[in-house]
Chains A and B, each alone.
Chain A
Amino acid sequence: MTAIVVQDVFKVFGPGKSIDEAVQRARKGETLSDIAKATGCTVAVNNASFEIEGPQIFVIMGLSGSGKSTLLRCVNYLLEPTSGLVKLGDQDLGAMDTKSLRELRKEKTAMVFQHFGLLDNRDVLGNVGFGLELRGVSESERTKKVKEVLELVGLSEHANTRIDELSGGMQQRIGLARALATDADILLMDEAFSALDPLIRTEMQTEFLDLQKQMPKVVLFITHDLGEALRLGDRVAILKEGAIVQIDTPEQIVMNPQTEYVEAFVENVDRSRVLTAGAIAVEGDEVAVAPDLSVDDALNAMEDAGSSVLYLVEDGRVRGIVHRRDLDRAPSKDNGTLQAVAADAPEPVHANDHLLDVIPRVANHEIPLPVVDDERRFIGLLSKTRILQAIARIKRHD
């Protein structure tokens, strides 16, 4: 079941009588400033649609004023959309009354705030257990759960500390812990790391990615920082003036920006941090040969591919490597197979590794390295040239 459906959502602020007109005009594609002039209304979310299937981090990225926080609040109906459909699981939020919306917020969603939104009068325990308290969970059960979650965010020592004694990074860990404590499937994070110092922010991002691996949730993450969006997101939606201009994987956003707006955004991104080996690997069919190939055929294959090496691939797995110079020393050119002269293949590059992490290894090898997927299947080759092309934004010529 699709976890979150947002369909044709508009959110308009302004004088009640002109709101419908503003939506009509926005549907026709008028610019927001024209609409504001004609109706006095601000269109904060302009026909936004997206779906999130299952556990993943879905990032909505936009500059301030792009309506991203408003859009986020439409998802748990803290703000009711002016028109459009919001569904969490099979529940249509527009059809629910206030009371069942409250129940939904208690059970299904949890939220993390930019400035943490903690209750200063309570200690850490009281804050992390807040969601459970509202749900009516008994104190002893609450304490047990809170201790578990504090362990997860690395603050188990601080259960009885006052909030104002904690640093910003620690406070946001508490904010995260409060959200995790409710075991909600859906996590709404509103600029959760934006108020933190750069170093702490990076640290929190890393920890958050680890957490997400440990217990995957449906995360809707809002940020104005493209670097953060590309680092955290499984998918990224770029928001401009309330409208979503592109939804894609980070790699696609960087490699194939669909509008000039997105292009301008990604121009200065450090591409080696975003692109993965898998995304830019060159198909290696020409140099991937079966281990029982004859030496003659191998020589031909090398000539055809213009390569001085061949990878021996069997059942999708890389079994070894054969160099041109070794073929000359092969015992018998006529009936020997490659296995006799094969050497161990260099350790393959993992498809999900970022370029930044694989560059040192690729640089140290004369030959292109094999790239393998999660199941260690051979999917292609990664050469120095290819990395340079990708970073220099040269499209693949194949």
Chain B
Amino acid sequence: MIDIPLGKYVEIGIEWMNVHLAPFFEAISTGTGAAIAFFEAILQAPPSWMMLLFIAALAWRLAGYRVGLFCLVGLFLVDGMGMWLQTMQTLALVLSATVIAVTIGIPLGVWASRSDIVSRTVRPILDFMQTMPAFVYLIPAVLFFRLGQVPGVIATVIFAMPPVVRMTNFGIRGVSEEAVEAGRAFGASASELLFKVQLPLSMPTILAGVNQTIMLALSMVVIAAMIGAGGLGQEVLRGIQQLRIDLGFESGLAVVILAIVIDRITQALGGGK
């Protein structure tokens, strides 16, 4: 058999990039770090009971009293288990990753919707991004950004971005042709068409994509604890490493509660049930 040292070449490539693109990675790192710090500051500033009530009230208003009640009880339990700080850390990571993924993903989706070439190019890349085992992303993230929250968020962005790109592309392409034609017939320019017709009409689909992106981000952020991203993932990891059933259960439960809370609230935002 022929020996193909593909891994070696990739390593050489990454090392080359590390040397020559250092300022670029530095800029990304600083930006991402700032985003994380921003969300952490906001989420950790109020005392837990205040934040808890706020989230429950928000859920109540957006998704009805049942969800509100669940948030109240669930988050109370999280606080009671002593997982509040870690939960807020995780939430900060999820929000940072989501904001970055959406900021890149929606324009990319819009671009793909307007050009078949872009769409055909982007699709296999998205497929690749989604089918790779999640923790494989940790390797380049570590190589470029070392350990900590920043590489965690960056790996998460890559892992979580495909749905919002896909759904934006899909949603805009699905806008009724007559509505688009009506826009053109009344003299809309390309950007007016996008912002007054296509984006508003595909918003439910795009928000469904954002919801999926958020859920993927949560699952990835937990895994990113392996490279020191902290938060609930770190507790899960400790539970595994130290074979501590209590810690493993509590942190795992906190992840589930957080997942349900985020999912219900964002689904309600998207006009779902």
Contact = CB atoms under 8 A, between A and B. Distances in A.
Contacts of A103: 187
A103 B192 CA distance: 13
A119 B201 contact: yes
A133 interface: yes
A78 B178 CA distance: 12
A134 B187 contact: yes
B203 A110 contact: no
Interface string B11-27: 00000000000000000
A111 interface: yes
B184 A78 contact: yes
Contact of B185 (A109, A119, A120, A133): A109
B189 interface: yes
Contact of A105 (B186, B196, B197): B186
Interface string A70-110: 00000010100000000000000000000000111111011
Contacts of A118: 179, 182
A114 interface: yes
A119 B184 contact: no
Nearest to B203: A121
Interface residues of A, number: 29
B186 A113 contact: no
A145 to B, nearest CB: 14
Interface in B90-136: none
Contact of A121 (B178, B188, B201): B201
A120 B201 contact: yes
A182 B186 contact: yes
B197 A119 contact: yes
Interface range for B: 10 to 19
B269 to A, nearest CB: 15
Interface in A244-268: none
Interface in A117-136: 117-122, 130-131, 133-135
A102 to B, nearest CB: 5
A115 interface: yes
Contacts of B186: 105-106, 110-111, 130-131, 134, 178, 182
Interface string A54-82: 00000000000000000000001010000
Contact of B181 (A113, A133, A134): A113
A116 interface: yes
A102 B197 contact: no
Interface string A134-161: 1100000000000000000000000000
A355 interface: no
Contacts of B200: 119, 121-122
A182 B176 CA distance: 23
Contacts of B197: 119
Contacts of B183: 134
A117 B187 contact: no
A308 B90 CA distance: 104
A135 B188 CA distance: 9
A372 interface: no
A99 to B, nearest CB: 8
Given A115-B176, A119-B201, A133-B196, A105 B182 contact: no
Interface string B167-199: 000000000101101111111110010001100
A44 B184 CA distance: 21
Given A114-B178, A117-B179, A78 B201 contact: no
Contacts of B181: 78, 111, 113, 117
Nearest to A107: B187
Interface string A169-181: 0000000001000
A188 interface: yes
Contacts of A109: 185
Contacts of A182: 186
Given A78-B185, A121-B200, 5 more contacts: A102-B187, A111-B181, A115-B176, A121-B203, A130-B196
Interface of A: 76, 78, 102-107, 109-111, 113-122, 130-131, 133-135, 178, 182, 188
3 closest A-B pairs by CB: A106-B187, A117-B182, A117-B178
25 contacts: A76-B185, A78-B181, A102-B188, A105-B184, A105-B185, A106-B186, A107-B187, A110-B185, A111-B185, A111-B186, A113-B182, A114-B178, A115-B176, A115-B178, A117-B179, A119-B196, A119-B197, A121-B200, A121-B201, A122-B200, A130-B196, A131-B187, A133-B196, A134-B183, A182-B186
